[in-house]
Structure 1
Amino acid sequence: MTATITRVAAPVDVAVLTVSDSRTLEQDRSGDTIVDRLTQAGHRLADRQLCKDDFETIRSTVARWVANPMIDFVIVTGGTGVTRRDVTPDAVRSLFTKPIPGFGELFRWLSYGEIGTSTIQSRADAGVCVDTIVFLLPGSPGACRLGMEQIILPQLDIQHRPCNLVELLPRVRDEQEPHVDA
């Protein structure tokens, strides 16, 4: 069952990356799910790409988007499992300046209601990368639907209360690096 998606009052610019060794953009149902939910809500797709499960390619793609001041959020789908090929969290966490552990915790809690204990195989995660917020979702369309509808879209809605990531974004961008005395 698909939830009704409310259009937001303050659209943001989001880049979407699908990590897969077996899909093309034409077969990318997970990326399509994310893009459909974003655009239905009124957000703007800043970029969309697909890349193989390769540490350096994933890291460099996300790093390029993080460096682009026109991109507010990045959503990556795929490569979050526990096999040797699943390197997305490892590649992207190296860019985190501040992790957001509650995202992965909440995702797995919600996912448990749909897939039971199989949710332990997910390394869904999120973090701030300098001044861009990045979400990592599993590669299944169901996981993307759950993550988008129940967590990400509410947090990308400036009217969501008691707080949301859109209203925090200007403060994230204005923060100075913490001063550390040597």
Structure 2
Amino acid sequence: MSDTRDFLPARIAVLTVSDSRALADDRSGAVLVDRLTGAGHQLADRRILRDEREEIAAQLRAWIADPEIDVVLSTGGTGLTGRDVTVEAHRDVYEKEIDAFGTVFTIVSMKKIGTSAVQSRACAGVAGGTYLFALPGSPGACKDAWDEILALQLDYRHKPCNFIEIMPRLDEHLRRK
């Protein structure tokens, strides 16, 4: 048996949460699109929504229900201000939270921005067999999350383990009788 595996592209949707951005000036969304397509993944959809919890949760649910989307990356709305509701919207739809994602993201951020990393509430979870990641709204944070965590965990060849290899089993509880 060969010790090498072929790359398996994921179908990834990108959501930018912002009250002020449009596609033309969405730098963080553009970073994610460039990184994911550059790695060989497919951009399944891309949207920009206002910082409204119910709208964000509704879009996440629509993508979770879409069999053509494996992963959702959102950027923006993970801070501490009153309009930052992306984390709450994500948690409204999670079946399981990937607790260590926020911890690892904080470790990565500490190396770049020091103690300012405490202001991020980056999080991740799974729902309906779809991975969901809520990233901060800065291009630098999106680069760090992709380059240091997601590029590896969304690559089937990454060892000792990765998110792609367990993807077929994420919704196995729904198939049991």
Q: Same fold (TM over 0.5)?
A: yes
Residue 143 in structure 1 maps to residue 141 in structure 2 = yes
The equivalent residue for 2:109 is 111
Partner of 2:54: 56
Q: In the alignment, what sits opposite 1:45?
A: 43
Could you give the per-residue CA deviations for residues 143-170 of structure 1, whole angstroms, max 9, x where no partner exists?
0000001101101100000000000000
Unaligned ranges ≥5, structure 1: 1-7
TM-score, scaled to structure 2: 0.94
Letter in 2 for 1:145: K
The 2-side partners of 1:105 and 1:58 are apart by 23
Q: Which runs of 5+ in 2 are unaligned?
A: 1-5
**Equivalents in 2 of 1:45, 1:24: separation in Å?**
18
Q: Does 1:166 align with 2:167?
A: no
Amino acid at match of 2:43: L
Selected match of 1:94 from 77, 83, 92 = 92
**TM-score normalised to the size of structure 1?**
0.91
Aligned residues with identical type, % of pairs = 50
- How many residue pairs match? The answer is 172
Q: Which residue of 2 aligns with 1:21?
A: 19
Which residue is 1:126 aligned to? Answer: 124
Q: Aligned-pair RMSD on alpha carbons?
A: 1.4
Deviation at 1:130, TM superposition (A): 2.2
Question: Letter of the aligned partner of 2:51 in structure 1?
Answer: D
